[in-house]
Amino acid sequence: MSGSEIWHGADDNGSGTVGVVALAHAFACKRGRERRAKDQSGPILFVVFAAEERGLLGSFYLAAHPLRPLDTTRAMINFDMIGRNETESEQTKGLIDVPADTTNRLNLIGALYSPDYNRTVREENKYVGLDLDDRFDHEAALNVFFRSDQFSLSCCRTFQHFGGSPAFIPTTTTPRIRPTESTT
């Protein structure tokens, strides 16, 4: 929000959707295809959901009507609110501590339920250097894991959630989203 203007959905879930599309482009480029062929990786399905706040309707629909068998799904990665710093809100005040500087922080939600994925993220983060935070897996007051789209697909072998929103606690990555600036 800036002055009297509100950009509904710009970060929840606009930033996560843009992140998924950017990843799909990266995996689809020639170099990405060559690397995946070398690794003999299977197909990747990139999906964005709607109606999370209305009861996870989009993700529950996919879980009930999968495009491929769910038992062949190796990971579900949920990007939410990836374009801004985390700040205390009325919902979080007194329940969790929000560090003063969250510019390099990445909230991992679901790592407790997915040890292999947690290990992979932590190993690969050695090359990236983010401050990984799994505090939402250790608190129950906000019930974050069960209120976001990864829950619908938690029957898969691995799943992960990156981020949060005012309803799910904001996260940070760079570059930041600034509605008045062009990122192209």
pLDDT tens sequence for the chain (184 residues): 556 776 666 666 778 888 889 988 988 888 777 877 787 777 788 888 877 777 778 888 888 888 888 777 777 788 877 777 788 888 788 888 888 888 888 888 888 878 888 898 899 999 999 999 888 888 777 878 777 877 787 755 444 444 443 232 333 333 444 444 433 3
pLDDT attached to residue 167: 30
Name which of 89, 171, 159 is nearest 121 in CA terms. Answer: 159
- Quickly count helices (H) and strands (E) in the chain: 4, 4
pLDDT attached to residue 126: 94
Strand partners, 80: 163
pLDDT attached to residue 122: 92
Is the Cβ–Cβ distance between 142 and 150 less than 8 Å? no
Name which of 149, 176, 177 is nearest 9 in CA terms. Answer: 177
pLDDT attached to residue 125: 92
Buried b (16+ CB within 10 A) or exposed e, 75-97: ebbbbbbbbbbbeeeeebeeebe
Residue 70, C-beta contacts closer than 8 angstroms, at least 6 positions apart: 63, 153, 155, 156
pLDDT attached to residue 3: 61
The CA distance from 6 to 25, in Å, is 29
Is the whole model's pTM more than 0.75, yes or no? no
Phi, psi of 131 (to 5 degrees): -85, 100
What Rg, from alpha-carbon coordinates, does the chain have? 17
